[in-house]
Structure 1
């Protein structure tokens, strides 16, 4: 999917932006003030290329590795990818661009970005990214069902034990209601397991100085996760974002821990008749990242790209993310009274961001993720036991 503001000119730069197909990106494709009006003011044409997630990693990695990436701005998920991108020299440090755009940078107010988000925009104090939207785990729960089950309120943050108790009490599959659910598909499973690992005292190794996952912690966390599975729909091992969207908009699940970047479309009252029935909370140990924009080192239009980037990620754009992703990244958005009245999840979301665990900032951690996705997916699919998961992980890491 491609959106262009105007035909490229031989005299002025033409900016190409690569985005993943996510609710947040509709903001840039649909909102004239952010793209079209900026293009008219500057005379710089903008082309936005939107790819589905299935094609996105291969496109961006193959282009950057070959040095032939044909984009001036690319979108990436914080510390999932940033450490490796920086280590490979694929991204432009924004330091010199900030210096050459001092008035724009001062107006941008970088310090307004929440500190937990800013952390994932930088490596060793150097800024490489600017945020599109925050992406953290947040609990969605049916307030009406909790009240019927005897809960007067749900204290945030929520412990795993409280979550399990609520899921067991709300579970009524014969009437199409599941106590809880997870994204157990092989592309999602690791992050679903991580709150359990952290609650068991686990700390992710950086993949460089350590690759150790204590067997006891792996087993304990997997067993705790498995205790939730009887209260999930049978297809939990294949479930993804679309599955959670269907369950939440259909009113078919009691309580889930799901990405905040899906809040906008899920809580859209035109597609979700249950939207007003949901409450929101933070887990004790949520995980998260930030989807953000960077400038490839191969771009020939770095100055124009940086100016465009400031426009795409400034205060106005961030506040508008309430409607699209539902998950902004700036302090100013979370204290805007109109936004608070419109987006009732903002207080809980802010707590989630402030509490979120962050992935290691070493590029070597990426080498461990494949194994973590694999064993957690097999747990969700019922293919292995908790003990098997520890043995498999240990054996596979020993072979690396």
Structure 2
């Protein structure tokens, strides 16, 4: 080897060593739902392009919230990227727990993100998380079971009373088909994501205009008694243990005739590679009752960066990639367009390949744009949020109420006791926090 060749070899070795030394490992905490599992599957493409690596911590939804909340509040620094939602992002951003994400570059195309989604992840005019997907809620139903029972698809928003009548007609437990599958697993983002909008429909609210809890009210009693009766008469066994993922699996396996849940699940239910009922499922609006206000929820799962991370620049590169137009195209091309992350970008709903593959696309877009977190209830309230209340104290209150409602569903206590316990707890927490003088 001559001197020139030797110098070139040394230079190449130094370059490789320097690149390896600069590579970072990001630890990302995420939820174990279908869209995030696809992100995990495709992330090696980002790793190969950047030389960085990802350490995945994939958790069930309730566990994720607990771990991430504890870590970010204590500035533990365990995670460089976290999966959070429209509840946490503005609250944590305002507390300087999250890095602002307004500087991901001109090609990121912020204007392409639906305005309500951007607003829902912002505080004080700054974006603190970027949306992976967004959703409202609607009613999935089995077209073959409706046809056999002589039920026509509702063309207008029906009431929960009417929904109950439909459910009774399609309930067929002898053949392993239950009239309805609704969330029962305790958690403010699990059973209360369904129960909260249902309480709204029955004319209820979490707090009055003076921040006094109203959980032990006639409207709440009517809603929760309806819910418990509905699920005990027409739901699957063990419903108090079923959350979003469990019900999605039951519906996809043909065990449920109806299911009121996230519009984002449509990409799974209508995917013949995942669902046995992809060709015999349709949807209509989530029911109303005394009012239509707050009956279709609004949510976005998003990626944020804790201020405790020491790898912010690399983390920004990853979250920009994972929530970009290019990533959505990658999912469409590799996993099928029906599986593309929904509800975030205008360009997705202008893509003919997506519109052709996803019969639910326009309904989802309309539902998300129509959801109004500023007007969630029949009676006036001091808060924003449809299936949650946008105050820090709600997480604890919502989890407690979720536990009480789940216990009532399981027959461990009466609805009256569940709501009395919930009211007492909420009054104590709101007094402690200074809302009630």
TM category (shorter chain) comes to: 0.7 to 0.9
Which of 48, 64, 69 aligns to 1:56? It is 64
Matched-pair contact (CA < 8 Å) for 1:334–1:340: yes
Aligned residue for 2:366? 351
User: Hey, what does 2:92 align to over in structure 1?
Assistant: 85
By how many angstroms is 1:389 displaced?
3.2
User: Of residues 31, 53, 68 in structure 1, which corresponds to 2:76?
Assistant: 68
Q: TM-score, normalised by structure 2?
A: 0.78
Q: Which residue of 2 aligns with 1:253?
A: 256
Q: Looking at CA atoms only, which structure, 1 or 2, has the larger radius of gyration?
A: 2
- Structure 1 residues 46, 364: CA separation in 2 closer, same or farther (over 3 Å shift)? same
Provide the residue aligned with 1:170 in structure 2.
Answer: 170
Asked if 1:312 is matched to 2:354, the reply is no
Structure-2 separation of matches of 1:329 and 1:159: 29
Query: Structure 1 length normalisation: TM-score?
Result: 0.85
Corresponding residue SS for 2:265: helix
Q: Is 1:121–1:130's contact at 8 Å kept on the other side of the alignment?
A: yes
Deviation of residue 209 (structure 1)? 4.3
Equivalences for 1:121-270 in 2 at 5 Å?
121-187=121-187, 188-205=190-207, 209-213=211-215, 215-229=217-231, 230-270=233-273
1:288 aligns with 2:298: yes
| Alpha-carbon shift at residue 390 of structure 1 (Å) | 3.0
Change (3 A) 1:263 1:193: same
Of residues 123-132 and 264-273 in structure 1, the stretch that sits farther from structure 2 once superposed is 264-273
Give yes or no for contact 2:343–2:364 (8 Å, CA) kept in 1: no
Change (3 A) 1:397 1:352: same
Q: Does residue 397 of structure 2 align to residue 382 of structure 1? A: no
* Aligned counterpart, 1:3: none
Q: CA deviation at 1:128?
A: 0.2
Query: Bigger relative contact order, structure 1 or 2, given CA contacts below 8 A and separation 6+?
Result: 1
Task: Tell me how far 1:39 sits from its aligned partner.
Answer: 4.5
Name the CA shift for 1:8/1:147 in 2 (closer, same or farther; >3 Å).
farther
Residues 328 and 61 of structure 1, relative CA distance in 2, 3 Å threshold:
same
1:8 CA displacement: 7.8
Q: 1:125 to 1:204 in 2, by over 3 A?
A: farther
Matched, 1:30 2:37: no
* Cα 1:191/1:146, change in 2 over 3 Å: same
TM superposition shift of 1:250: 2.4
In structure 1, the residue matched to 2:101 is 94
| Structure 1 moving runs of 4+ over 6 Å | none
SS in 2 for 1:363: coil
Q: Specify whether residues 318 and 132 from structure 1 end up closer, same or farther in structure 2 by C-alpha distance, changes over 3 A only.
A: same
- Which stretches in structure 2 are left out of the alignment for 5+ residues? 1-17, 288-294, 374-384, 430-437
Q: Hey, what does 1:337 align to over in structure 2? A: 352
1:322-345, Cα deviation, whole Å (9 max, x unpaired):
544763422221232211211222
1:361-380 to 2 correspondences below 5 Å: 361-380=390-409
